[in-house]
């Protein structure tokens, strides 16, 4: 058995990615924490707080990757103005999560950024 880390849909072992989310599947049954989140979707009335702000020309892409990462850890998040992305240059893209998830999200995104840091890449060019 395999499952999608975002939507918790279960798949056969032979499946490689979620047909809806296009995320690589994880082996095993979906964890209870993910199913719990799925039953408790992000409501429109929750207080959202930014856990990180990406900036620069790749901000949107980076924010989307970070969102996928957070959601794979069971934390729903929101990128404001997502629907309008593509027409205008967006320089600052905050990643928003529920206030109650903020502490955990901050820790996860810090690990994510450290894991994806590429120090010195520009200097050697
Ligand atoms: Zn999915």
Domain ranges of the chain: 1-41, 42-125
Q: What is the 20 CA–ligand 1 centroid distance (Å)? A: 5
**Residues forming a β-bridge with 52:** 95
Class of domain 42-125: alpha beta
pLDDT tens digit sequence for 55-71: 888 888 899 999 999 98
The pLDDT score that the predictor gives to residue 7 is: 84
Distance between CA atoms of residues 116 and 102, nearest Å: 20
Stated pTM of the model: 0.56
Token pair recorded at residue 115: 């894991």
Q: What is the 121 CA–ligand 1 centroid distance (Å)? A: 33
Q: What is the 73 CA–ligand 1 centroid distance (Å)? A: 13
Q: What is the 119 CA–ligand 1 centroid distance (Å)? A: 32
Contacts of 124 (CB under 8 A, 6+ apart): none
């Amino acid at each position: 058995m395999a499952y999608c880390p975002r939507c918790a849909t279960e798949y056969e072992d032979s499946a490689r990615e979620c047909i809806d989310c296009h995320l690589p599947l994880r082996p095993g049954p979906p964890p209870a924490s993910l199913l719990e989140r799925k039953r408790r979707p992000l409501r429109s009335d929750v207080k959202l707080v930014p856990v990180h702000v990406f900036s620069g020309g790749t901000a949107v892409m980076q924010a989307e990757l970070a969102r996928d990462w957070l959601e794979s850890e069971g934390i729903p998040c929101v990128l404001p103005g997502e629907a309008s992305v593509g027409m205008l240059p967006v320089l600052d893209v905050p990643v928003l999560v529920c206030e109650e998830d903020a502490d955990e999200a901050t820790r996860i995104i810090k690990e994510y950024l450290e894991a994806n840091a590429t120090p010195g890449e520009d200097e050697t060019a």
